[in-house]
Structure 1
Amino acid sequence: HPEIYPLVLTTKTQEIFNCRIDEDITDEQPYKLINKEDIFEDLRNRAAVSDFHPVKKIVQEYPGNELLLVYDKDFKYGLNFYLIGTEEGKENYLNPPEVSEEQEEYKEYIPEDVYIYKPPVSKPWVSLGSEKEIEEESVTESTKQITYMISRKRSEFGVPIKFSDQNASSVKDAYIECTAYPDKNFTLKQLEKDVGMQVIPQIKDISTQTK
């Protein structure tokens, strides 16, 4: 609907233009004719705070002197009011064309929303470069894996074993210590790093006992 412009009118604006819901505007008369000069006066007084600021250009280019403001009770166009931006649309709303009895009877047999299923049609995949980004962000192993094989003699299978405590310093090859040391061959300097962050307000929890 190119001639319909949804608006949000606050309680203050409704009081200024006498279009208060359930008082000035009712289900029997859900519209109000607004003088164009009154809208300009509101724009001069409240500037960007005015609820009519989003449609300022539409109001300026409107050929008539009075614009039709309609209360959108069911939020058909998303907001609580909408403005009709053409004289033709205003006349069609105020004086809707008469519908013949045959057309009225025909409407009764036609559902309002008829859903027509359209099966999806397969299309060839077109690359837009996303697979390169996925490849860059994917994690790959940079070092070669080392494989160990541990075996024992066949004659030792199923033999009873008795465990006991021993001093690691008194028995040869019973304890091996591998301390960490810096290896200059593998020293890497990090130049760039992707970090995900989220800013949250500081929160403090306090418990108290009061009546």
Structure 2
Amino acid sequence: SAEILKDDLKIVFIPKTLHEHFECVVGKHVFIDKPWTKISRKKIIDNLQSQNMTSCFWKFQKEIEGITNDYVLVGYKPFSSTDEEFLICTTYKAKHCIEETQVQNNIGGELKKKVERSMCRVPGPWDSKSSDKDIEEIKSVQTREKITYKWKLPAGRLQAEAEFEDSNSKSVKNEYVKLEPRLKEIFKSSDALTMESSVQAVRKMINTEMQTIPRIKYNKCIQSVAVEEEMFQLQPLNTSEKALDDFLNKHVPK
């Protein structure tokens, strides 16, 4: 089709002042992915009659007059150095080929959208595999359940009136101040059965270091994964490694 369209497409420079009139404004009527637009044939004929040789379509007057459709297919060249450069279809064969290509591209775009839409993944429910229990004790929380305390007291102390007496002010042990009511004031004892208080508990952070010993294979803090078999082949020990092996044999319990 490129050979067929080679002589059927002509380059025309449409001034920007006429883009709105011919409905070929870049970014409004034509785009990089949709460069083709239909320009009214009547508007082009009127421009030829009014501008004559100064019309941008003057070179293609005969071809345009030979077009029987009500519109002329014009294409925007997005990679041109100017926004005024367009391609104009001067034959029915070129127009038909371009319109067929546009239809195929639109169908391909719709199918692509459907495929992308059908491939959209929806996240499933979280399956913890009991891994969340490992961090339960160190996880930060904002709220906690109320803590209840119980005190065991002798029955004689329940609802007993407090007895106050003068005490030596210089004595530190059992020191207290006696409160006497003023006129028309009565002190009443109130029993506090429940009390709510805000508590913020922060676990103490502890930094520890661990040194792994190759001979102890069942360390609970180590999880090893074999990457390559060659890594675990026996290697000849040099002097320093032999000294380390002797030290481990001597000091590490078997």
Class of the TM-score when normalised by the shorter of the 2 chains: 0.3 to 0.5
Greater length-normalized contact order (CA 8 Å, ≥ 6 residues apart): 1
Normalized per residue, the structure richer in helix is 2
- Structure with max Cα Rg: 2
Return the TM-score normalized by structure 2.
0.35
